[in-house]
């Protein structure tokens, strides 16, 4: 590559220097992709909570308690950070039900993995679901978390009590690209979907029945399909966290999964000759959501639609596709986070320097006055690690250091190990994940490198900003929605090395301008992408789903 000048214009990509702007206080709303174009600040609020947005009809007083009319929501997932986490879905499943529980009766359904069976929590017998097609019968247990969140766990040891991740034994956690997904994943997650449908129909012997199912990603995709095939109009919301993972299985598996033959067509579950759990969820759910406004628009295009863009465009035209951003919870506060070696706040940078010194020591870097760059990510093609590896030499030669943390595709892991050996003391590769050290790295780093090829939402950029680390990211999906270029981070438009390097050059230039650097860090820390912002749009969406099926029940929170 050519030589790099680390002092170029701060906003070269935009063509002019951009001044810091006030953070928008606009209340988030459901984004219907058929007519709304999102802006970078659509969901950005400086208010950490949105409780004042909830009012009783005709009243000016905030609604602080769950009404008798609060909806009963079953949140169905394959991960929850309390017990087992592979990616962002685990964080979402832990935080979003808790945020919604302030105004709704939200309970979680999840397989009883080994981590749950051997946890400190008691599993109380709660119900039973019968066998169906080739899916075994199983019991349902109940776990009550310390804060009161209720989990229904699907007790089926032959399917879920095994060493590994929810999806397989691969290093990335997803069992993808290496043939290491569990061979019975179709049975495992069809069993989860069918259990959700049985619970919704009151056929699981529970003392509680939801009014609506909120289903997450391909593994839950058969749930609305099972309800449809039985002719039961139970409202369902299906959230796409990453369209690239679709749950594709051989069509010969339809009978054992209880999928009727007449559903195997273009308007059903058929996807290029295979059975797609993801397509089933999109086709049969009352409402489809994804986790950022920009990604909701992107997936209606051939570039990002993974072969489902036509179906998703149809859903958008019907007003059934929305983008609601993820958020972060209160634990991500540098003033109180117990993971940090020293607390800090905006304009109190001594604590941040202490965390930087700790991170350098822990990850084996030399003492340095230069910027510290972090990569905290799954090590897969989607995340653009190839571009960062290519940029590493220029970063080091410019006086920077890099810490990589994550696991994933073996060839990426090997490339990072080789990179750290090539630049000892300047580059460190930590293959694996450690929550404690990850938080310390967010707190100690100056910049987060996140050149994702696509990013449905992304949480790392939110964590980084909250801890005063400025993200350098591709302008796509949730990254475009949560990073304000030149204000709270740096965005580049083309997924090309030269465009990425220009963003990195801008970051170096800002780092050398102490006042501007501190102003940007302060702006990033002031931005609050909190889960509480999601209560209003999800509540509205639940109401829409209920009304679509003729349910006259109204939401407690208008």
Q: Which residues are annotated as a binding site for ADP-alpha-D-glucose?
A: 85
Give all strands of the β-sheet with 321-323 in edge-to-edge order: 31-32, 321-323, 287-290, 236-240, 212-216, 72-76, 105-111, 150-155, 138-144, 124-129
Block residue for tokens 């030669």: 397
Block residue for tokens 């208008």: 558
Q: Which residues are annotated as a binding site?
A: 85
Alpha-carbon distance 259 to 102, whole Å? 37
Q: Comparing C-alpha atoms, which of 354, 428, 361, 416 is closest to residue 388?
A: 416
Hey, CA dihedral for 139, 143, 148, 151, is it positive or negative?
A: negative
Give the DSSP H/E element, type plus range, for residue 104.
Answer: none
Q: How do beta strands 105-111 and 124-129 pair?
A: unpaired
Token representation of residue 10: 């701060």
Q: Dihedrals φ, ψ of 97, to 5°?
A: -60, -35
Q: Give the gyration radius of the chain's Cα atoms.
A: 23
8 A C-beta contact, residue 244 and residue 382: yes
- DSSP string across 466-510: HTT-EEEEES-HHHHHH--BTTTBEEESSSSHHHHHHHHHHHHHH
């Amino acid at each position: 590559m050519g030589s790099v000048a680390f002092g170029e214009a701060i906003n070269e990509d935009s063509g002019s220097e951009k001044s810091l702007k006030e953070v928008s206080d606009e209340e988030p709303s459901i984004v219907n992709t058929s007519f709304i174009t999102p802006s970078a600040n659509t969901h950005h609020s400086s208010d950490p909570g949105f409780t004042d947005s909830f009012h009783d009809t005709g009243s000016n007083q905030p609604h602080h308690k769950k009404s008798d009319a609060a909806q009963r929501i079953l949140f169905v997932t394959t991960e929850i950070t309390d017990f087992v986490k592979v990616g962002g879905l685990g964080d979402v499943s832990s935080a979003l039900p808790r945020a919604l529980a302030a105004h709704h009766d939200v309970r979680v359904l999840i397989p009883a993995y080994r981590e749950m069976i051997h946890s400190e929590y008691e599993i109380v017998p709660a119900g039973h679901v019968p066998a169906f097609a080739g899916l075994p019968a199983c019991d349902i247990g109940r776990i009550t978390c310390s804060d009161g969140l209720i989990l229904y766990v699907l007790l089926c040891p032959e399917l879920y009590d095994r060493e590994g991740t929810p999806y397989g034994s691969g290093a990335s956690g997803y069992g993808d690209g290496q043939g290491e997904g569990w061979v019975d994943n179709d049975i495992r997650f069809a069993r989860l979907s069918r259990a959700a449908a049985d619970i919704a129909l009151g056929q699981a012997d529970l003392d509680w029945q939801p009014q609506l199912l909120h289903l997450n990603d391909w593994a839950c995709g058969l749930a609305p399909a099972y309800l449809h095939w039985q002719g039961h109009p139970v409202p369902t919301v299906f959230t796409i966290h990453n369209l690239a993972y679709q749950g594709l299985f051989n069509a010969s598996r339809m009978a054992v999964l209880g999928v009727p033959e007449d559903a195997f067509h273009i308007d059903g579950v058929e996807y290029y000759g295979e059975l797609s759990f993801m397509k089933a969820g999109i086709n049969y759910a009352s409402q489809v959501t994804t986790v950022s406004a920009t990604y909701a628009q992107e997936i209606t295009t051939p570039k990002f639609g993974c072969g489902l863009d036509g179906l998703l465009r149809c859903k958008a035209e019907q007003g059934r596709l929305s983008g609601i951003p993820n958020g972060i919870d209160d634990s991500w506060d540098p003033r109180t986070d117990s993971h940090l070696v020293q607390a800090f706040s905006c304009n109190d940078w001594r604590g941040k320097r202490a965390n930087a010194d700790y991170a350098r020591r822990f990850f084996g870097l030399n003492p340095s006055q230069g910027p510290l760059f972090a990569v905290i990510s799954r090590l897969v093609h989607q995340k653009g690690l190839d571009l960062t590896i290519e940029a590493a030499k220029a970063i080091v030669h410019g006086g920077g250091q890099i810490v990589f943390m994550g696991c994933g595709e073996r060839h990426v892991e090997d490339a990072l190990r080789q990179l750290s050996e090539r630049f000892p003391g300047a580059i460190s590769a930590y293959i694996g994940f450690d929550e404690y050290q990850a938080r310390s790295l967010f707190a100690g780093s100056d910049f987060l490198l996140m050149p994702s090829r696509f990013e449905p939402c992304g949480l790392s950029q939110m964590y980084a900003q909250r801890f005063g680390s400025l993200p350098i990211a591709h302008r796509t999906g949730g990254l475009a929605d949560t990073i304000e270029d030149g204000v709270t981070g740096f965005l580049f438009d083309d997924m090309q090395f030269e465009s990425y390097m220009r963003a990195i050059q801008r970051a170096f230039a800002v780092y050398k301008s102490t006042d501007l650097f501190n102003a940007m860090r302060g702006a990033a820390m002031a931005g609050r992408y909190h889960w509480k912002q999601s209560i209003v749009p999800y509540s509205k969406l639940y109401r829409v789903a209920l009304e679509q099926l003729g349910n006259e029940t109204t939401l407690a929170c208008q």
